[in-house]
């Protein structure tokens, strides 16, 4: 059997690639962790159940990968084709060539393969069943259920399943370049595998940064994910945003001081974190409404968006100067998870700061909420949100700008600018109120030795003594690049925006072609691959997701925003 595949399907295998059943194809279930990543040996799968399992898949002779998406693996072997895909969230089914060897074991007991692994502590079982040329692997509450599910899948029409799984890739527009088209297909594949069905406390289709290790729903991540989904399916984009807005705190939660707040992380079991995250939801809803024309959705969303922004303005301006401050945490490895830039050198002093990013983003979101009200014909509401945005913008331009450096900095509670040059200093580009002469100064800084790296824009300046590959201490991120690009476009700096867009696409593409993955972040100096970048500390030398800590693979917002850059071009 040789599967018929659409053109430009992703076909680069790599360790750590996500492999799971998408909520776009049916019901998903997150609690049991029955989602896989490819392991060190081609084409082994690490199953992320509470006690991890390893599905060993060994082929003989020289093989060629024909498809490597988030839910289809097709490999041409000398004596046939290895094809793996998902029949349901709980069942993986495949065709295997005669010489292939397939075995199942607990990941910590690889020497003792078994056809059924039962984890009594966590109350789950995984079973492997075989038939000549076929295999199926399924999970269940016990071995009997797992075996029954696997047996039921053995008769599946694998080619039909593959067609169904790859249907999302068939209608993608072409840029006229096979490599770019394959990158776009990879982006959409990552978006798809990280989209899940309604479950538990999450009542709508929702998205996650990555099925492992993050697993849950996150505020600003979801906003970024929705921007790209507008190009693919605006209805799904709306659902992703609706899922987040539905989890806003209300009076019914018994904590009135949190009414209107949206937590930075939310789970299907109903739990929510005590901190928030960068305000992007009004912008995301506005972009979705522009893509879909769904004014009924806009009318439904503005109430929650107003409560959410109002909560930020009331509870995160401790000194009453119209500038917002992130919550600062005790852990030096994560000083401000609320900012999303957890371990940035901006927060090394563990001090509360008037934050340039929080202030710029809340003003930008307030302007977007005003635009939504205007679409609904609510001029009075729009004027009110414009006025609140103007207050923040005036304070930001007056108090966070360094005329000497031509840059925006955070400010201590004593009124001193910190002098830490971070990518967030460019976020005021998102504001139409930014004076033209300051646009010129910021563009000059962007071109300077501080930020003109091989892969710009570093999260902190390359001249900062803390500059490294450790997450927000110097690495380059697709989401902050996208914000800078949008800001440059707003102020008519289209050449600079196009240059940063092209560099972002080129570096994401290069590492995809080399390693098969879209990574959480990248070395701004482009000296080491993402797999050798640090993530809140040194590497530990263990296999990825069995201990190794570095840039996450098949990361959703990298995929989503790279897709935006490709499609907007």
Q: Read off the pLDDT of residues 170-228 as tens digits, 9 standing for 90 and up.
A: 889 988 899 999 999 999 999 999 999 999 999 999 999 999 999 999 999 999 999 99
Does pLDDT of 531 surpass 90? yes
390 and 538 both lie in a single domain: yes
Does pLDDT of 332 surpass 70? yes
- Please list, residue by residue across 360-374, b when 16 or more beta carbons sit within 10 angstroms of its beta carbon and e when fewer do: bbbbbbbbbbbbbbe
The DSSP H or E segment spanning 362 is helix 356-375
Distance separating alpha carbons of residues 112 and 115, to the nearest angstrom? 10
Give mean pLDDT, residues 91-109: 94
Distance separating alpha carbons of residues 374 and 389, to the nearest angstrom? 15
Does pLDDT of 515 surpass 80? yes
Tokens for 42, please give them.
Answer: 């081609």
In a domain? residue 266: yes
Least confident segment among 382-396, 432-446, 540-554 = 540-554
113 and 147 both lie in a single domain: yes
pLDDT band at 368 (very low <50, low <70, confident <90, very high): very high
Give mean pLDDT, residues 279-300: 98
In a domain? residue 12: no
Percent of the chain with pLDDT over 70: 100
Q: Mean pLDDT in the chain?
A: 96
Distance separating alpha carbons of residues 568 and 175, to the nearest angstrom? 11
For position 247, which CATH number holds?
Answer: 1.50.10.10
Q: Which of 170, 200, 218 lies at the terminal end of a domain, its last residue?
A: 170
Residue 408 class from Cβ within 10 Å (0-12 exposed, 13-18 middle, 19+ buried)? buried
The 3-state DSSP class for residue 521 equals coil
In a domain? residue 295: yes
In a domain? residue 130: yes
182 and 158 both lie in a single domain: no
Q: What is the pLDDT of residue 114?
A: 87
Q: What is the pLDDT of residue 1?
A: 62
Distance separating alpha carbons of residues 214 and 226, to the nearest angstrom? 18
203 and 233 both lie in a single domain: yes
182 and 166 both lie in a single domain: no
Q: Which of 140, 170, 200 lies at the terminal end of a domain, its last residue?
A: 170
98 and 217 both lie in a single domain: no
Give mean pLDDT, residues 513-537: 95
Give mean pLDDT, residues 401-416: 98
188 and 158 both lie in a single domain: no
411 and 481 both lie in a single domain: yes
CA dihedral angle for residue 362, residue 363, residue 365, residue 367, rounded to 10 degrees:
160
Please check whether residue 517 is in contact with residue 535, taking contact to mean a CB–CB distance below 8 angstroms: no
Q: What is the pLDDT of residue 474?
A: 98
pLDDT band at 242 (very low <50, low <70, confident <90, very high): very high
In a domain? residue 148: yes
Does pLDDT of 53 surpass 80? yes
Does pLDDT of 461 surpass 70? yes
DSSP-based helix, strand, coil % in the chain, nearest 5: 40, 15, 45
145 and 182 both lie in a single domain: no
Tokens for 151, please give them.
Answer: 């047996």
In a domain? residue 9: no
Report how many domains make up the chain: 2
| Residue 11 per-residue DSSP state | -
In a domain? residue 36: yes
Q: What is the pLDDT of residue 541?
A: 75
* Residue 420 zone, left/alpha/beta (φ > 0; ψ -120 to 50; rest): beta
Q: What is the pLDDT of residue 111?
A: 74
Q: What is the pLDDT of residue 547?
A: 79
The DSSP H or E segment spanning 386 is helix 379-399
Range of the domain at 319: 178-568
In the sheet that 18-19 helps form, which strands lie side by side, from edge to edge?
A: 18-19, 36-38, 45-47, 53-58, 101-106
Q: What is the pLDDT of residue 73?
A: 97
- CA angle 218/520/84 to nearest 5° reads 90
183 and 166 both lie in a single domain: no
How many secondary structure helices (H) and strands (E) does the chain include?
14, 20
Q: Which of 170, 199, 234 lies at the terminal end of a domain, its last residue?
A: 170
123 and 193 both lie in a single domain: no
**CA 230, 232, 234, 240 torsion: positive or negative?**
negative
Percent of the chain with pLDDT over 90: 92
In a domain? residue 147: yes
Q: What is the pLDDT of residues 464-483, one digit of tens each?
A: 999 999 999 999 999 999 99
Q: 313: which residues sit within 8 A by CB, 6+ positions away?
A: 324, 362, 388, 392
Please check whether residue 505 is in contact with residue 562, taking contact to mean a CB–CB distance below 8 angstroms: yes
Tokens for 339, please give them.
Answer: 């900012």
Q: Is the pTM of this model over 0.75?
A: yes
Does pLDDT of 393 surpass 70? yes
Q: What is the pLDDT of residue 4?
A: 87
146 and 266 both lie in a single domain: no
């Amino acid at each position: 059997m040789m599967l018929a595949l659409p053109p430009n399907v992703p076909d680069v295998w790599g360790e750590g690639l996500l492999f799971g059943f998408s909520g776009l194809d049916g019901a998903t279930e997150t609690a049991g962790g029955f989602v896989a990543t490819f392991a060190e040996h081609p084409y082994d799968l690490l199953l992320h159940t509470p006690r991890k399992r390893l599905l060993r898949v060994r082929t003989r002779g020289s093989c060629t990968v024909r498809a490597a998406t988030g839910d289809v693996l097709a490999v041409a072997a000398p004596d046939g084709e290895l094809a793996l895909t998902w029949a349901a969230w709980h069942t993986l089914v495949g065709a295997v060539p005669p010489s292939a060897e397939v075995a199942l074991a607990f990941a910590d007991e690889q020497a003792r393969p078994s056809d059924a692994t039962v984890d009594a502590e966590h109350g789950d079982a995984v079973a492997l069943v075989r038939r000549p040329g076929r295999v199926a692997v399924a999970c269940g509450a016990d071995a009997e259920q797992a075996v029954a599910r696997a047996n039921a899948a053995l008769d599946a029409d694998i080619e039909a399943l593959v067609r169904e799984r790859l249907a999302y890739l068939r209608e993608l527009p072409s840029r006229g370049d096979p490599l770019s088209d394959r990158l776009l297909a990879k982006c959409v594949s990552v978006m798809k595998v990280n989209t899940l069905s309604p479950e538990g406390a999450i009542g709508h289709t929702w998205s996650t940064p990555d099925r492992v290790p993050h697993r849950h729903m996150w505020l600003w991540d979801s906003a970024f994910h929705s921007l790209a989904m507008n190009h693919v399916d605006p209805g799904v984009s709306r659902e992703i945003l609706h899922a987040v807005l539905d989890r806003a705190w209300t009076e019914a939660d018994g904590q009135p001081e949190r009414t209107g707040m949206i937590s930075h992380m939310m789970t299907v079991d109903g739990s929510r974190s005590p901190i928030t995250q960068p305000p992007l939801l009004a912008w995301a809803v506005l972009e979705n409404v522009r893509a879909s024309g769904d004014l009924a959705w806009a009318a439904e969303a503005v109430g929650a968006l107003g409560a959410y922004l109002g909560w930020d303005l009331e509870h995160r301006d401790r000194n009453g100067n119209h500038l917002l401050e992130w919550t600062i945490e005790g852990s030096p490895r994560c000083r401000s998870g609320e900012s999303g830039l957890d371990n940035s050198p901006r927060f090394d002093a563990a001090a509360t700061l008037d934050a340039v990013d929080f202030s710029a983003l809340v003003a930008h979101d307030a302007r977007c909420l005003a635009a939504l009200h205007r679409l609904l014909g609510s001029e009075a509401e729009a004027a009110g949100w414009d006025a609140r945005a103007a207050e923040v913008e005036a304070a930001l331009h007056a108090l966070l700008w360094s005329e000497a450096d031509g840059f925006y900095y955070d400010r201590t509670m004593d009124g001193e600018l910190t002098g830490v040059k971070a990518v967030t200093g460019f976020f005021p580009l998102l504001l139409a109120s930014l004076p033209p002469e300051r646009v010129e100064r910021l563009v000059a800084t962007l071109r300077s030795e501080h930020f003109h790296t091989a892969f710009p824009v570093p999260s902190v300046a390359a001249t900062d003594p803390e500059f490294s590959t450790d997450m927000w201490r110097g690495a380059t991120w697709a989401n902050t690049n996208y914000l800078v690009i949008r800001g440059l476009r707003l102020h008519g700096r289209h050449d600079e925006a196009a240059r940063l867009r092209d560099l972002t696409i080129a570096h994401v593409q290069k590492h995809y072609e080399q390693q098969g993955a879209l990574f959480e972040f990248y070395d701004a100096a482009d000296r080491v691959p993402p797999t050798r970048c640090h993530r809140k500390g040194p590497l530990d030398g263990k296999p990825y997701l069995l201990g190794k800590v570095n840039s996450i693979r098949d990361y959703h917002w990298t995929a989503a925003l790279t897709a935006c850059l490709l499609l907007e071009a």
